Structure 1
Amino acid sequence: MTITQLHYVLAVAEHKNFTKAAQKVFVTQPTLSMQIQKLEEELEVTIFDRSKKPIQLTEVGEKIVQQARNIVNESDRIQDIVDQQKGFIGGVFRLGVIPTVMPTLLPMFIGHFMKKYPKVKLKIEELHTEAILEKLKEGHLDAAIAATPLKIEGIKENALYYEPFVAYIPENHPLSGMGKLEVNDLDINELLLLEDGHCFKDGIINLCKASREYDEDQLQLESGSFETLVKLANEGLGMTLLPYLHTLDLHESEKKNLKMFKDPVPAREVSLIYNRSELKMQIIEAIRSTIAGVVKGAITFQNVQIISPLKRQKELSH
C-alpha cells in the first residue's frame, strides 16, 4: 500500500463520493477508484460499501480510516522535521477561530504575523467549537483558537489569554446605578444571549448557574452577534454580557453603560488548541508568541475566575 492510496481513502471517507473525493485530491475519478480498488484487493477486504448512497464505510473500513489518519499524520511529520531542522516557518496552515473571538483578536495579530512570517499561507475559518473539534480530529485544521478548558482526549490546550466578562447595562435598567457587579446580581432570565451554538452563551449560563436557576423557556431573545445584543439592550429590552475585547470597539456613548465585576473577575480562557501529534509546531509557536505579544497590552487583568465553556459546568479557579 502507499501513502497516496491512504490519502484517497481519507478523501472518500470525508466526502462519501468518489467524484468529489477525486476533485479534492486533484486526480481523475477513475484513477482514484482504481487505486482504492487495488488497496482493497491487496488487503482482501472491502473498505467502502458502494451500494449505499451516499457511500458508507464498512465496519473494517472504519478501522482502516482511523489508522490511515495516523499514518498520513506521521508521514507529514517527516516534512515537519526537515522544516524545523532548517528553521523554516512557512507553508499552508489551516486555523479555525470561534465567532466570538474572530472579529476582535484577528485584526489585532494578523498583520503582525503576516509581516513577520511572510512564507506562512494562513487559511482561516470561522467555526463553532463543535465543528472545530471535528475538523481537528479529521486533520482538516492544523490548530484553532477557542474558549477552553474543553478536556478533549488527544487535543492540547495552550492558554493565550484570560478575557473578562463585562456587563452592558443601559441607563434605564435597574442595575445601572450600581458600582462594580457581583455574579449574584445577575438574573439569567433577564439577560440577552447569543443563539445556541456559541460557547460564550454556555459560559454565561455556567456563570449564573451557581446563583440562580434559569428557565430555558424564557431564553427567547437571542442573536448571532454582540453588536445586535448591544442594540437590543439600547432599546430597553434588557442587559447583556460581552467579552472584554468586544467592549474596546464600542462607541464612547455606549462605553458609559459598561460595568466590571468585583474580583475575582469572571473570565473566559482563550487557547490555541491542536492535536497531540504536534505537527507544524514551529508555526503554532509563532502564532502563540505573536498573539501573546499583542494581547498583553490590551488585557491586564490578573485576579480572574475562569468560567468553563462546557455546557452546565461550574467555574474553575485560576
Structure 2
Amino acid sequence: MTITQLHYVLAVAEYQNFTKAAQKVFVTQPTLSMQIQKLEEELDIQIFDRSKKPIELTEVGKKIVYQAKNIVNESDRIKDIVDQQKGFIGGEFRLGIIPTVMPTLLPMFLKSFTKKYPKVKLKIEELHTEAIIEKLKDGHLDAAIAATPLEQENIKEWTLYYEPFVAYVPSNHQLYTKQKLTTEDLNIDDILLLEDGHCFKEGILNLCKTKKNYEESSFQLESGSFETLIKLSNEGMGMTLLPYLHTLELNDKEKGNLKMFEEPVPARSVSLIYHKSELKIQIIEALQQIIAGIIKGAIAFQNVKIISPINRN
C-alpha cells in the first residue's frame, strides 16, 4: 500500500469517474486504474462498485476512504514539518474568500503578499461559507477568509478584523434625518438584502432578529451585488446595509447617504479560518500578518457588537 495509491482512491471517490480522477492527479487513466486494482487485490476487497454509473464506494470502501483521508493528511504534515523547520514559505496554497469580502479585501493585500512571498503560489476561489466549510474539511482548501464565528468543531478561526455594518439611507427615506441609527430603527421589510447563501444577509436577519416577509412585499429580490442594492435604494425601493470596507469605494454623493450605528456598533468578525490539523501554518501566519498590518489603517473601530453569520432559523 502506498500514499500514491491512497491519493488515487480519494480522487476516484471524489469524482466518481476514473478518467476525471486521472486528470486530477496528472496520470493516465490506465495507470490510475491499475494502481487501485493492485490495492484492492492486496486488501482482498472491492473499494469501488464499478457496475454503478456513476461509480460508487462499497460499504468497506467508505471506511477505507475515511481512513485514507487521515493518512494522506498526516503524510502531508510530514512535509509541512520539514518546511517549517527550514523556514520555507512557498508552494501551492488554496485560499477561499466569501463574495462580500473578496472585492474589498483582496486588492488590499494581494500585491503585498505576493511581493513578500514570491514562492507561494496562491490559488484563490470566491465561495459561499457553506462551500468553504465543506472544502476545508475535505482538504480542498488550505484556508479561507470568512465571517465568523461559524461554530465548526474541526475548524480554527483567527480573527483579522471587525467590520461594522453601515446603513445606506437615501434622502427620500424616513431615517435620512437621523444622525445615528439603532437596531430598533430597522424594519427588516424595508431593507434590501442579498440573495440566499450570503452570510452577510444572515447577519442582517440576526441583527434585526426577524424574518423578511416577502408575501407583503411588492417584489422579491435575489441579487449578489451591493451595487444593485444601492441603485434600487436610490430609486426609493428601501434602504440597505453594507460592510464598512465597501463604503470606502462609494462616490461622494453616495457617501452622503451613509448612517453609522450608535455604539456598540453592530459588526461582523472577519477571520482567517483553517482546519485544526494546521497544515501549511507558516503560510497562514504570513497571510495573517500581511492582512492585519494593512487593515489597521482602514478600520479603527473598537466598541463593536459581533453579529453571528449563522442562519438561526
TM range (shorter): over 0.9
- TM-score scaled by structure 2? 0.97
Gaps of 5+ in 2: none
* Residue 88 of structure 2: aligned partner: 88
Residue 24 (structure 1) shift: 0.7
Which residues in structure 2 correspond to 1:201-240 (within 5 Å)? 201-209=201-209, 214-217=212-215, 218=217, 220-240=220-240
Q: CA deviation at 1:73?
A: 0.9
Task: State the one-letter code of the partner of 1:282.
Answer: Q
Contact 1:12 1:21 in 2 (8 A): yes
Identity of aligned residues (%): 77
Tell me the SS of whatever aligns to 1:301: coil
Alpha-carbon contact 1:192-1:222 (below 8 Å) kept = no
Contact 2:205/2:211 (<8 A) preserved:
no
Q: CA deviation at 1:173?
A: 0.5
Contact 1:205 1:312 survives alignment (8 Å): no
CA distance in 2, matches of 1:203, 1:254: 23
Aligned twin of 2:196: 196
The one-character-per-residue Cα deviations of 1:272-306 (angstroms, maximum 9, x if unpaired) are: 11111101000000000100000011010000000
1:173 aligns with 2:173: yes
Number of residue pairs matched? 311
Q: Deviations over 1:193-224 (max 9, x none)?
A: 00011010011000001xx5542544812311
Deviations, residues 222-264 of structure 1 (Å, cap 9, x unaligned) = 3111111111111111110000000000011100000000000
TM-score after normalising by structure 1: 0.96
Aligned to 2:121: 121
How far apart are the structure 1 equivalents of 2:230 and 2:211? 24
Counterpart for residue 262 of structure 1: 262
Aligned partner letter, 2:6? L
Map 1:33-52 onto structure 2 (within 5 A). Answer: 33-52=33-52
Residue 111 of structure 1 corresponds to which residue in structure 2? 111
The residue type equivalent to 1:61 in the other structure is G
Give the match for residue 316 of structure 1: none
Counterpart-to-counterpart distance in 2, 1:78 and 1:20: 28
What corresponds to 1:57 in structure 2? 57
2:68 aligns with 68
Aligned Cα root-mean-square deviation (Å) = 1.1
| Residue type of the alignment partner of 1:113 | F
Shift >4 Å, 4+ stretches: none
Q: Which amino acid aligns with 2:151?
A: K
Residue identity opposite 1:19 in structure 2: T
In structure 2, what residue type is equivalent to 1:22? A
